[in-house]
Amino acid sequence: MKNKTTTASPKAPVLKIIIRHSLLCIAFMALYTRASAQQKYVIEGKINGLDKDMKVMLNYFPSKGIIVRDSAIVKNGAFHMQGTIARPYKVNLYLRSFTPPPPQKFVIGQVVPSQDGQSFYLTAGTTTITGNSLASAVVSNPVQAEYIELQNSLLPVQKASGPNNLALFYAKNADSIALFKQRRAAFEKQYSQVNFNFVKKHPNSYVAFDLVQNYAIVIEDPESFEPMFNALSPQFKNSPEGKTIAHNLLMVKKFAIGQPIMEFTQNDVNGKPVSLSSLKGKYVLVDFWASWCGPCRMEYPFIHKAYDEFKNKNFEVIGVSLDDKKNLWVNAIKDNHFDWVEVCDLKGRQNEVAVAYGISAIPQSLLVDPNGIIIAKNLRGDDLIEKLKEVIKTDKL
């Protein structure tokens, strides 16, 4: 399949849009372009002291599975780019040499040189970029100014939380770990408050909308998220993305801590139906995962650790896989030594249980008590073990 390209005016560099997916993605992009009002953008860049010709590369992701790429020549440190954009997007811009550097071998502990570039908001109109490097350059346009305002507002919390997070990473003592986690939770609330204040101040900003969408990937705390979402302008809340967020929020509230878990039945690897209610009377971790999910693998050791410690203490795990190929699902179970209950309907991301539970990203999990009430969600690392120690100890008192 040939790459889809568009050519700018004769005086401008050639701008290339490369979509490395199926014809379906290309058709989607065409529909997306027609449905959205495309506006012209211009980038005028100047990198001081750059004494050799280079290429400047730009890319961004207007929709899942679609990437837009532009490029231009940098001569005497100056470059010009232009094209069309449907709305402000956060883009990546970086320099690349015409002659690739020779391959280097790096050893563990060696600092890998970073690429000269930065991310910023591109919008319609003219954006100027000036500095001694792309990484340190000042990017000027109205939407970028909003983004910089947000970053500056977050900076005090970032500086304050950094030492605590580093201390937590190296902490070994249980009391110290608990203290640092408590402080981390407090910093996370500060982050949320700063972000909420920004959304309230800029309800019509695409920076605010993107911020809310990031929180909506996995809505951890619906009580704090809902006011942030409601602070957006009707323009965003009534958009297709906004309506999806509203739906996901309703689902999260339906499965909030303190709510009863919803019954489900799916087949195990042998084709035998297994119901969640068959495990009633136990503490149950309902774990949503897939063989192709990288972040899920990071949680496997902690689920193993919890299962090994509590499997004989009224605790069970039921994994719900979002796989669509049985061999990949079964091999993942064997390779990772999952000794607990595993079910799947082989419908991939449209797994009926996942859809019914409003699961839009994985890994996600729910911890249910013996009465079928949700008592915790998305416990990461050793937090699962700590929660089980807390509730099982409480039951014995």
- pLDDT one-digit tens code per residue, 336-385: 999 999 999 999 999 999 999 999 889 999 999 999 999 999 999 889 99
Strands across the sheet containing 54-63: 66-74, 54-63, 89-96, 117-122
Res. 10: pLDDT tops 90: no
**pLDDT, tens digit (0-9, with 9 covering 90-100), for 12-40:** 333 333 333 333 333 333 334 344 589 99
pLDDT for 234 equals 97
Give CATH for domain 5-99+114-138. 2.60.40.1120
Segments making up each domain of the chain, as ranges = 5-99+114-138, 145-254, 265-396
Lowest-pLDDT range, 31-45, 69-83, 268-282?
Answer: 31-45
pLDDT for 21 equals 34
Q: Mean pLDDT of all residues in the chain? A: 87
Res. 9: pLDDT tops 50: no
Res. 326: pLDDT tops 50: yes
Res. 80: pLDDT tops 70: yes
How is domain 265-396 classified at the CATH fold level?
A: Glutaredoxin (3.40.30)
pLDDT for 6 equals 35
Res. 92: pLDDT tops 80: yes
Res. 290: pLDDT tops 50: yes
Confidence band of 259 (pLDDT split at 50, 70, 90): very high
